[in-house]
Structures are given as structure tokens and as C-alpha cells.
Structure 1
């Protein structure tokens, strides 16, 4: 029998979820063009599409929602958010945004000019899109182990210093507005970055007067992995580890919909007053006043409270343990997954799950559709479809072709995860029956959100 970490909370409100038949699911996935993003939530049994905005907020956060100061300027909730960001993350200046990509838009427009290069530890979809729309070129400088799903390297999110040095020598430091460092790395499988690597990258960047900007969306998860995996940090608190992590950066973009435990919201945080001043001018055009940035006061209050809740050890220990539980169940059954199990999701290796499908037949997209059809569980493709096309119109072909089983925070029980594991294990036994897909519709930017497919004959 698997042991598991019990929930550090009790249930106060419940929400019914759909229990559907195979016939109902077949109709739903066909209407959605075999794209799980286009399914209606009422047709989904267990929703593992994303952990973004799907958190169950606490009673304290809901209480805070009733204290929303909805003043157009100078909301008291903004100052509560600013205080939380300063105390927990250590940044001096904060601009709220409606969510993380709003912060990405501000940072990209303010810092990137045509011909620039932005090195990072593996791309993320919206981040790279903003960088490219502003004339930049993303360059992957993550360690090689990150592209190997079988590697058990404990910090597969690390930046390769040699790759970073080579890029600086190749294009010149003046062509690099900032280093984009994700903590953790989503498309590598939710993999963390070590504290030593954060120090080393920050020191190298400083020598060349290059800023380091974190994608801090899952920074608390990264701090947890440092505590569990890196020597010298085992006795330190999550709060202390997180504060040290963030000190090795010049700012961050944050999607509050993940580690800030809210359903909407984000921010751009920086230490550079000049950059902050320019950002306050731009946010008015795209989001709202610098003191609300597209959010209601109540949303900022919930985020401020969530920032403190997220650094509680019992919360984050249970959160990571749930993900590990699902991963262990699949590994025990021989299902190919990215190892070691990451922070927010279990990632199925679709190439090894469906070796009969070449990458151009979209094996991860096919597998995600079949998981839904089999069980009503909604997952997400993270492979060639998500990677998009280059400037010449050719598919980006990532080494990792994955299906993400993303665990929402404080939402599902271990019994739900048992159902997910059993369904995928059963599907693995009949995997040779799964067909590939081809495009029916493809949007030019971020195609995975709205694309439609049909089965290849």
C-alpha cells in the first residue's frame, strides 16, 4: 500500500463534478476538434489541464475578498500586496497585472529590441511569443539532461554556464537585455533550479551587466526542492530559501494563478527604479492604473494572503507529495514519464508511450485526447503542437513530446489521483490502437489553445 501525506486542511465547500459516459465523451472530444482546451468544463470529470487559476482558495482568502477596496487609485489592497511581495520575495517595486502574461508583455516591450537574444532555461509558450513579437530571439541554454526524460538529475532546470557564456561571446552582452530564468521549468517536467546554479548565473550576468529576470510562477515549489535536494538547505525554512533564491535576480514576472494561490492575477516586480517608472507608464495603456493593473481590489487582497499561505511548509509538502504519489503509481506500472517527478505535474513521455506515431502525427495531442475519451480526465499536450513554428514556418521539434497531468492546488484527493492512474495504466495496455492526428485549423500564434484536429487515416 502506498503511503501518502494527508491533507493539511479540511473540506468546507464541495462542488459536484461531471460523471459522463463514453458516448458523451466521444461527442464532446469530436466537437472540440480533439483539442482538450476546447472541451467544456461541464463535460470533464477530473480536470488536470492546468494548475493556473484552478486553486481552491482558503477561507482566509475568501474573507479577504470581502475587504476589497475598489478605489480606482491607491487601493489599500494594493499596499497589502506590495507589503507581501517585499516581505516574502524581497523586491522593491511591484506592478499588478491581470495575470502572468500581462507582466511578460510589459517586460518584453520595455527591454527587448529587434535583434536581441534572450537566453533561458527552456522556452515557455507565452514567454517566447512575447519575446519574438518584440523582435527578440529565444536561445535555450538549459543543461542537456533537461531534454532526457529518463535522466534522474535532481536539478534539470539548471542553466548550462558554458552555453550561456558561448551565447554572450557570440552575440555580445549588449544584445542580451536579460536572462529569462524559470523556477521551476514547466516544459522540462516541472524541474527545479539549484541555489548554486542561481548564484552562478547571477554572478556571470553581473560581470557582463546583464539582468536576470525570473519567471517566478512556481518559485515556492522550487524552494521546496532545494530544501529536499540541496546540501545545506535541509534545515532552512521555505521562506528563508525563497528569499535567498529571489536575491539572485533583478526582478520577476509572476502568474499569481499558481504559487500565489489565486484564480486570477499576477505582477511584475523589479528592483530598478527607472525600469519601474517606465513600466508604470506602460501598464496604464494595457492593464490599468499602476495600483491595480487590471485587478479588482479584492483580487489583490486574495493574492497578498495567498503569498503568505504558500510558504507554509505543510501546504507545500502536501502539494508536492500529491504529484509524487501520482508519478509513483505510473512508474510502478511501467508507464513512461519524465523523471524525477516535478513540482506541479506528472509528464507522460508520449514518444515512448506511442512509439508507432512519428512526431508530425502529434502523439502527445493524440494521447491527451484518448485519455479524455477513456476516462473523462482532461490533460494537456506539451510537445510539437505547443512548440509552434519558426520564422520560416517549420515546426519546432522539441526533444520532449509530453502530456502534462497538472495537479490543481488543494482541489483533488488521492482517490481522484488513483482514478487517473488506473485510467492511464489501462490505456497504456492498449496504446497501439491510438491513432495520430493532423491539423484542421491552426492559428499563427500560440496554436495549441485553439487548434483543431482530425484523425489521420
Structure 2
């Protein structure tokens, strides 16, 4: 589907941002020109997916659409059992709600927001174990998304193996600028999890994009297909959580998949409680059917190659415009180094969130901060993610984004940072709804 979009006037953008409490999540989509807030569920479905949508079976139990999804998961990902959910966080709920208890610790190459929140909600400690170069936007390494297994063993020494029921690997690593994870590292993490008797879970939201990078960068797989690499990488996991809104190319949906029948039964029961009957999982049958088609399309070489290359093109345009970005670019988004664009804004005034607001004010471009504002209490660099919806925007849109970012850098001194004036009790999710104001506007500001 296509629709006309318009760039609101500067005056309108100023009014909208103020009304939104300087939080891009609170903006009306009609007030946004190029929306790069997320690639989750914002892409365009294919003709085959629309056809499946029309043929969806809406039976409450045992629908044909569920059987199609189960077969697609078995074929593409290699898991026997599937529990559909309304989206990825539903999958996290049915898996971590079963496996994680109060007092546990859960290591991950880097927890993303909802994963971190689900672990914390169980009373457990989400622990990041990123690659040693993950925090360096300029470092050159093909797999900066890898899990630091040495850090995992340090956690074992600190809390004991019995307190680590789950080890998680996120591919690609969204909290580390969408950087890929190698198959070699996946094998190492699987061996680590096996040695401490933990369940190894892969967050597979962008498994196809990750497989593309493996093909390009890991010599062992230079002659393998994306589909073959995906099956190989996922084969080391005991279970996966999946947001279908990413690499299943749908606007809503997700699932958990596993081979262990006991974990499957426990997840099914939790699905009934929180999502719906285990053959629809909170979804309409038509959405389940479209997700089955999207899973197969995601590992087709023409699609995934074009997808990753468009993201790389946005990275090149930004770099050519003098805007510092995290290198190398990832599979779904370009991450702008906010601390370099706004070096005069101290971290306590959220330079990343200030850059998000500046991009909107300058050109109606909506991104998201993934730094100290989104992840309080961590040492993550202040990055702004510009996530490209799949099969949606043209080069002209990318050029507008680069021109907008360049304009922000030219006028950087106009932006002095923000402070929070209202936030929810659960800090792990504050970036979704917190309200801020310009720091200079507050009498208490330094």
C-alpha cells in the first residue's frame, strides 16, 4: 500500500514536539514526514502475504493458518514446536515467564528494552556481555554484535551457575547498533550454556539479516545460502523468541519455538493465560498466515540483499554529509553518534534524546534514542537509531534524512539538552512514555 506524506511546517513541528513532551513516541504519526522510529511492523507486505491474509483461517483452535506457520518455522528455522504470540514481547513473556525466577541472572550479548524489562519483571538481573569493541562506534570488526563468553564466565563466578537458568543471544544485536553475530560465536555461547546447564535462547527477530552478514563476512559460509546459514545458526539454540514484525515481514505477530516438549507445554499454558489459545496466540488467523509466508520470503537472497544494502546506503549518505555514524552499519538501521554531533551536551542531559528532537524539528524525521535515556543505569553510548521500514522508502527519502541530519550538525549549538519531568515507575520502559523539557527551561538546570 502507498499513501501521500507531507512535511508539516516548522511551527507545527515545534507545537507537536512540545505537546509530546519532547518524546518522539508521543508524536502523532501524521505529524511525521519520514518515520524511522522502528522497523518493527512498519514495513510493506508482499502480494503473496496479502493473498495469504485474505485466505486466513479464523478458527479458534487448530486453524489451517497455524499449521502453515508451524510448517514454515520447521522449514526455515528448524524447530519442532511453535507457540504463536501477538508480537515479540509476548514470546518473551511465555518463555522467560517459565524459565526465569526472582534472584536469577540472565546474560545476553546486550538486552534490548522489552527483553531487559521481562527479565527484570521476573525479579532477575539482566546482564549484558557485549563484544569488547561494541562500545566503540569507529572500531572495525565484522561481528561487533558477538557475545563475550569470558564475561559470561565472570558472571558464573559472581553468582554461581545455578542462578543462571537462561543464556540469551540476540541476532542481530539491536542494542549494539544492529551488529551481526557470527556462527562461530553462536557455537561458543551454546557450549557455554550447555556447560552451566542453562537453556540457550536466541532472540531471532532479525535472523535473516544476520545470516546475510555471516555469508558476507564469515569465510566458512561464503558459499552457503542465507537459508542454510539461518538454519545452521539457529540449530544451536534450545529455543527462540521471535518478533514477526521484523524478519517475518508482518505488521503484527510473533512466536516462540523450541524442540523441548516440556518447555513447549509450559509455554503453551502461559500462552493461554496471557496471549490466547496456542494455535492463534492473540492473533487473527489471517495474520498468522501472512507471517508464515513472510518467514520464507525473508531468507530469499534478492530480498535480504536489497534490505541490507538500503541500510548501508543511508549510512553512506549520512557519512558523506559529515554526520558521524556507528561503523560498520547494521542490518536494519543506521545509528548516529549523538555524542559527536552534540559534544557540548553532557550525558545527564541526554544528547541522544536531544538529537532525536532536533531531527524532528529540522526535517520531520523521527528516530529513537538508544543510550542513557532508553537504558538507564548502563554505560551504553548515546546513539540515535534510524530504523528503515522494510520495502517502504525510496532514495529520495534517504537523502532527506541525510540533509536533515547535516542541518542539525550545522546548528548543533542551538541544542542544549533535556531533562525528565515525568517518568513511569519501571525505568526499563521509561523511554516509551516519559516526558521531558529543554534543560535550559528549568530553574533547577545547571
Which range, TM-score by smaller chain? over 0.9
- How far the C-alpha of 1:427 sits from its partner, in A, is 1.4
Residue equivalent to 1:318: 306
Residue equivalent to 2:51: 63
Q: For residues 321 and 57 of structure 2, what CA distance do their matches in structure 1 show?
A: 52
Residue equivalent to 1:422: 403
Q: For residues 149 and 19 of structure 1, what CA distance do their matches in structure 2 show?
A: 31
Residue equivalent to 1:4: none
Check conservation: 2:173, 2:180, Cα contact below 8 A: yes
What does 1:9-158 correspond to in 2, within 5 Å? 13-158=1-146
Residue equivalent to 2:439: 456
- How far the C-alpha of 1:104 sits from its partner, in A, is 0.7
Q: For residues 259 and 168 of structure 2, what CA distance do their matches in structure 1 show?
A: 16
User: Could you say what secondary structure the match of 1:66 adopts?
Assistant: helix
User: Could you say what secondary structure the match of 1:403 adopts?
Assistant: strand
Residue equivalent to 1:347: 335
Q: For residues 15 and 234 of structure 1, what CA distance do their matches in structure 2 show?
A: 40
Q: For residues 45 and 355 of structure 1, what CA distance do their matches in structure 2 show?
A: 27
Q: For residues 110 and 402 of structure 1, what CA distance do their matches in structure 2 show?
A: 33
Residue equivalent to 1:208: 196
Residue equivalent to 2:323: 335
- How far the C-alpha of 1:147 sits from its partner, in A, is 1.1
Residue equivalent to 1:284: 272
Q: For residues 311 and 266 of structure 1, what CA distance do their matches in structure 2 show?
A: 17
Is residue 359 of structure 2 the alignment partner of residue 371 of structure 1?
yes
TM-score by length of 2: 0.97
Residue equivalent to 1:168: 156
Please provide the CA RMSD for this pair: 1.0
Q: For residues 62 and 143 of structure 1, what CA distance do their matches in structure 2 show?
A: 40
TM-score by length of 1: 0.94
Q: After superposition, give the CA deviation of every residue in 1:305-352 in whole Å (9 maximum; x if it has no partner).
A: 000111111111111111101111222233111111111100011111
- How far the C-alpha of 1:415 sits from its partner, in A, is 1.2
Q: For residues 109 and 269 of structure 1, what CA distance do their matches in structure 2 show?
A: 15
Check conservation: 2:321, 2:402, Cα contact below 8 A: no
- How far the C-alpha of 1:32 sits from its partner, in A, is 0.7
- How far the C-alpha of 1:19 sits from its partner, in A, is 2.3
Is residue 381 of structure 2 the alignment partner of residue 400 of structure 1?
yes
Q: For residues 349 and 123 of structure 2, what CA distance do their matches in structure 1 show?
A: 30
- How far the C-alpha of 1:232 sits from its partner, in A, is 2.0
Check conservation: 2:335, 2:384, Cα contact below 8 A: yes
User: Could you say what secondary structure the match of 2:220 adopts?
Assistant: coil
Q: For residues 226 and 432 of structure 1, what CA distance do their matches in structure 2 show?
A: 41
Q: For residues 339 and 129 of structure 1, what CA distance do their matches in structure 2 show?
A: 28
Worse-matched range after superposition: 44-53 or 323-332: 323-332
Aligned structure 1 segments of 4 or more residues deviating by more than 6 angstroms: none
Residue equivalent to 2:444: none
- How far the C-alpha of 1:295 sits from its partner, in A, is 0.5
Q: For residues 206 and 129 of structure 1, what CA distance do their matches in structure 2 show?
A: 25
Unaligned 5+ segments in structure 2 are 441-446
User: Could you say what secondary structure the match of 1:227 adopts?
Assistant: helix
Unaligned 5+ segments in structure 1 are 1-12, 389-395
Q: For residues 283 and 403 of structure 1, what CA distance do their matches in structure 2 show?
A: 34
